[in-house]
Structure 1
Amino acid sequence: MTAVERGADDRTVKVTFMAPYADWQALFDPLLPGAALDTPEEFNTGWIEKIPVWGGPWKLGTADKTAQTITVVPNEAYWGTKPLLDSIVFRALDATAITEAYLNNEIDQAPGRDPDAYRRVSGAANTVIRTGGRWDETQLTVGRNGPLADERVRQAVANAIDRTALAAAQSAGLPFKVNTIGSHFFMPSQDGYRDNSGETGGFNVARAKQQLDQAGWASAADGRTRTKAGAALKLVFVVNSRGSTDLPQLIQNMLAQVGVEVELRKVPSNDFFAKYVNIGAFDLTYFRQVDNIYPSLLFPVYRSDGEQNYGKVGAPEIDKLLDRAGAETDRAKAVELLNQADVLLWKAGHSVPLFQTPQISAVRPGLANFGAFGLRGDRQYADVGWIS
């Protein structure tokens, strides 16, 4: 930016950029108060157990540490759309307790994405199920250490994985089809989506075996783990202990079919990112990425030097395409550049986008404008209300 100036009135700002920036809207979601964040002390401690500035339709009413609740009430100083509700109470609950709290009428909404949770909440009295397609990607991230330093091995990993079978497993017991994803940037329902997995990333067991052969990993006659110079082709799949091992086990079995041995290593949830993912201490790992409506939010994931490119797989050609797409204000042209970059990401074996997790929410029937918020994930709490 070269300038941030007052606009036509006190509620308008004029921002001038030094160069074209396609996703400028992302800078204003959310808006943060500079006056309460402009020193290290204010940033680090100024918001502990207090909220010094309110700039939206709600403000803090009460906070109850014992009950683990926060109540917000309408902010009388807000000049925009006034809330329909008199208050909203937010409760801190362990994930395992949410379904029970909903069934006990302690809360008015609960996720139903888990098949067991869906079975319980969908049959509950005074309940409707609302579904939507959020920007929500489960991605297998691939490292580049050891055998994975070879692009052919990374491609073989992608070729060995049947994403359709994984999505079908996720759909079991749910009323909502789980979509596979063939793009690193777009969801299937988004304008611009194209399945670019093709030869280098699509499910193809024969090609996976061929790639491993060409990389020098010899197959065993009895179908056991491949070897090279006396070493076994073994990968470590780091798994968050809080999550299910169902998906990793399916991937483990798929890779075994092409001669790749996979060790599933469950690590403490608190250590998963800090001690493993963030520092690239894995061969394979998986997690969700959500609400990346603006493609530039994903650039740190896919740039060679990106701070969220945990596997450190990239290429200068990809970086150049991302730079061009980020500066292209013609959406059609930007989408084409992103799809070109996507083709190269599949070729590089950066990661394997697996499927789009659906939104499934159990909600009280009279609660309007709340539940599954769809692709953008917008939660306009001022528009939420009870139908009388």
Structure 2
Amino acid sequence: MSHNGVALRAVTRSVVFLTAGALAVTALSGCSSEDKGSKPLAEQDIAPAARDRVADGGTLHWAVDAVPDTLNTFQADADATTTTVAQAVLPSMYRLDANGRPQINPDYLESAKVVETEPKQVVLYKLNQQAVWSDGREIGAADFAAQWRALSGKDSAYWTARNAGYERIAKIERGANDLEVKVTFARPYADWRSLFSPLYPKDVMGTPDAFNDSARKKLKVTAGPFQVKKVDRKDDEITLTRNPRWWGHPAKLNEIVLRAVPRDKRATALAAGSIELGEVDPEALGRISLAARAGATPGAGPVAGPVAGPGGRPARPSGSNLGAADALRSWALAHEDDEEAADDELSASQKKRRALAAYEREQAALKGYEVRRSLEPAYTQLALNGASGPLADERVRRAVARAIDRKALAGVVLTPLGLPAVPVGSHLALSGQDAYADNSGALGGQDAKEARALLADAGWVPGGPVEKEKKKGDKAAGTEGHKAKRESADGDDGTYIVGEDDKSDDQDPKDHRGSGDSPRHLAQDGKQYANKLKQGSAPGAYAPKGTAAPADAATKVLAKNGKALALRFVLPSGPGSGPLRTVAGRISAMLEKVGIRTEISKVSDKSYFKDHIASGQYDLALYSWPASAFPATDARPIFAKPVPAADGSLNVEQNYTRVGTDQVDQLFDQAVATLDEGKSRSLIRKADARIWAAAGSIPLYQRPQLTAVKKNVVNAGSFGFQTPVYEDMGFLKKGAKPASGPTGH
């Protein structure tokens, strides 16, 4: 899921686990005098330029993950691209600033405030008198009312993803004139600023058929700087064009084309000139950075330095004494009696040379791009499934948390990217947001001694008796620590034990590699891999790149009631999941030091969330949540205590760890009904401290946001918390330079 800017409100707070993620941010107002507040760990990186420096016209081709199935953000299958389109073409009453704080959007609102609290909460919106839909009709109370009725939850004919906030409204009516909208709430609602962003016209919200179907494929009526010109599912792109009825600053670009490009193909698409902007992975960052260095070094070729070439093989460094032709001649001289083999080698060498030449051409083209870096308003967490097994015991969950060095894990991911490696201290907000406070002290930092004590208190005994279990196709599972399942060479689903002592010396070490993993991915600097070949085994030998062998390799297996303490660690296996596998390997090594073994199971990206996370088929997992501007509303389903449903199943809402408490639920309920912003913020922080103490999920680090952009594209890139200003995006005028300050909007 890509993150093309930040939505004011996540309609469904979507989970993300690979690259890019989506969605929204922070609380209700500025910090009080008693609250110093925090700052974002990284600023947005968009090459800001005043509007008078931006050329008029042009088309920006923007890579997205997919053309969405729907253009209605309130439907369950809406995605990040749905949000991007809505931001560009529909009204939003509020925008997010650089700290993720909601600010009135003056293009649509003159003011909005609570004008009554007794006997009912009443909010009065005063609309911008110039605000009109693309068909010429004024935006007004009828549109607000239609959206409320559609999302109130009272009419099941509307296929809505959720109705949070709208179900609290009692009525909507016209105010003193057509420019005023009066919203009366049946119950107090602290997060009222989250509503009507985006706002759809009554044409979409007025009937179930229009809501369910007509807005999925097209939006006939819009009210933003752009409008939807074409949705082309054959060519996988959406074209947005200037809205001629837009009353604000006119869009600099003629068109924005949102083009679906797989993430592992984006470097090639950038080099080919088919896109000018798109989020990329660290591998593409490396290629673009290398191209820039090569271009800045006199006499250096486009592939100077030890870089991966086609197929992941090292490219020949510039200035090497042995070129491809020299190597081929040397080989032929050594095997001159085998002319047929020499011909085959010549053909293979020619293919390699052609591939290298194409790669070098791409590298030369990539000199025209740069990578703009920030941090997404989303964090990666370690999820602990508390529904059953060892992790149903809070002491075991806390032991897992106390065994982990969160700062080291953040450093593994963020330091190589030049981003601040600071662990996330809250489940409900990120640094810079009003609600943010580091509440991790409620659980405590890394302490192996304390982790062992918690495990002992839970009855897990080092070296205790373990019943041997036989599994079909395996040797002995459990105490012997042999692989539960061999991973196929083509990267299909696989399971293996991290840190086990596998005594068989005749196995092919390549069997332990995941899809696309080289021996360097298996252990830090390849040292453990070498030890495995020499000695037959090494703790951590099967862990991803960067996993060091535990200092106490002789840690005994913990056991209880004849069962060894081993946790199933489920990970995605796709090409974008390399960082997650690296982090998982580090976590596994940390857990092994306190006697907890992990059984790593790699599954396909397609089934990872649906078949494993949502269904509870895991012990440990890594995935991400977006932060929300309105945590009292949006975060509650994620941490709500699961309750039995009428059919006997467990209703977990979005709480996929299955860990929750009545106290946390009560704190959320109080926060969302408290109109005093300081009190509401305090309640949110108390809820977060209780969530930490329950140890159902452990926030690790804020996700990196890397956006490759053509150098002359301005006011676009890695937006961080802030809502993009689509009308200011464009191409720099010739001779002009980006400004260091804010844009001219």
- Give the TM-score, by structure 2 length: 0.49
The question of whether the paired residues in 2 share the 8 Å contact of 1:5 and 1:15 is answered with yes
Aligned to 1:259: 595
AA at the equivalent of 1:360: L
The aligned runs of 1:151-166 (5 Å cut-off) are: 151-166=394-409
The question of whether the paired residues in 2 share the 8 Å contact of 1:160 and 1:258 is answered with yes
Aligned to 2:729: 384
The question of whether the paired residues in 2 share the 8 Å contact of 1:134 and 1:291 is answered with no
- Matched residue SS, 2:273: coil
Aligned to 2:563: 231
Cα separation, 1, equivalents of 2:261 and 2:704: 22
AA at the equivalent of 2:725: Q
Cα separation, 1, equivalents of 2:425 and 2:434: 14
The aligned runs of 1:201-212 (5 Å cut-off) are: 201-212=444-455
1:178-205 deviations in Å (ceiling 9; x for gaps): 3211111121233342221126242211
The question of whether the paired residues in 2 share the 8 Å contact of 1:109 and 1:362 is answered with yes
Tell me the CA shift for residue 330 of structure 1.
2.6
Cα separation, 2, equivalents of 1:120 and 1:196: 39
Aligned to 1:285: 621
- Matched residue SS, 1:125: helix
Tell me the CA shift for residue 153 of structure 1.
0.7
Tell me the CA shift for residue 210 of structure 1.
0.8
The aligned runs of 1:1-388 (5 Å cut-off) are: 1-7=169-175, 10=178, 12-37=180-205, 39-112=207-280, 114-122=281-289, 123=292, 124-144=366-386, 145-198=388-441, 200-220=443-463, 222-242=554-574, 243-244=577-578, 245-295=581-631, 296-305=633-642, 307-376=653-722, 378-388=723-733
The question of whether the paired residues in 2 share the 8 Å contact of 1:201 and 1:352 is answered with no
Tell me the CA shift for residue 27 of structure 1.
2.0
Cα separation, 2, equivalents of 1:339 and 1:283: 27
1:37-91 deviations in Å (ceiling 9; x for gaps): 4555444433444334323222222344443222111122344443221111111
Cα separation, 2, equivalents of 1:106 and 1:157: 46
The question of whether the paired residues in 2 share the 8 Å contact of 1:57 and 1:78 is answered with yes
Distance 1:178 1:53, change over 3 A: farther
Cα separation, 1, equivalents of 2:711 and 2:455: 54
Cα separation, 2, equivalents of 1:138 and 1:314: 19
329-338 vs 6-15, which deviates more?
A: 6-15
Structure 1: tracts of 5 or more residues without a match: none
- Matched residue SS, 2:461: coil
1:114-136 deviations in Å (ceiling 9; x for gaps): 33221112324233443333311
The question of whether the paired residues in 2 share the 8 Å contact of 1:115 and 1:172 is answered with no
AA at the equivalent of 1:116: E
AA at the equivalent of 1:334: S
Distance 1:39 1:340, change over 3 A: same
The question of whether the paired residues in 2 share the 8 Å contact of 1:111 and 1:117 is answered with no
- Matched residue SS, 1:158: helix
The question of whether the paired residues in 1 share the 8 Å contact of 2:218 and 2:228 is answered with no
Distance 1:88 1:304, change over 3 A: same
AA at the equivalent of 1:226: L
The question of whether the paired residues in 2 share the 8 Å contact of 1:238 and 1:267 is answered with yes
Larger radius of gyration: 2
Cα separation, 2, equivalents of 1:23 and 1:282: 34
Tell me the CA shift for residue 318 of structure 1.
0.8
Structure 2: tracts of 5 or more residues without a match: 1-168, 293-365, 465-553, 643-651, 734-745
Tell me the CA shift for residue 29 of structure 1.
2.5
Distance 1:274 1:38, change over 3 A: farther
Distance 1:284 1:83, change over 3 A: same
Distance 1:341 1:199, change over 3 A: closer
Cα separation, 2, equivalents of 1:366 and 1:276: 44
AA at the equivalent of 2:282: P
Tell me the CA shift for residue 22 of structure 1.
1.8
Cα separation, 2, equivalents of 1:280 and 1:37: 35
- Matched residue SS, 2:417: coil
Distance 1:90 1:10, change over 3 A: farther
1:208-255 deviations in Å (ceiling 9; x for gaps): 111101000112394132100111111112212222221222211111
Cα separation, 1, equivalents of 2:686 and 2:241: 48
RMSD over aligned Cα, in angstroms?
2.2
The question of whether the paired residues in 1 share the 8 Å contact of 2:568 and 2:600 is answered with yes
Cα separation, 2, equivalents of 1:294 and 1:2: 21
Tell me the CA shift for residue 261 of structure 1.
1.4
Distance 1:129 1:225, change over 3 A: same
The question of whether the paired residues in 1 share the 8 Å contact of 2:399 and 2:454 is answered with yes
- Matched residue SS, 1:342: helix
Cα separation, 2, equivalents of 1:80 and 1:367: 21
Tell me the CA shift for residue 307 of structure 1.
0.8
1:284-330 deviations in Å (ceiling 9; x for gaps): 11111125222131111111145110121011111111111112233
Tell me the CA shift for residue 106 of structure 1.
1.9
- Matched residue SS, 2:267: helix
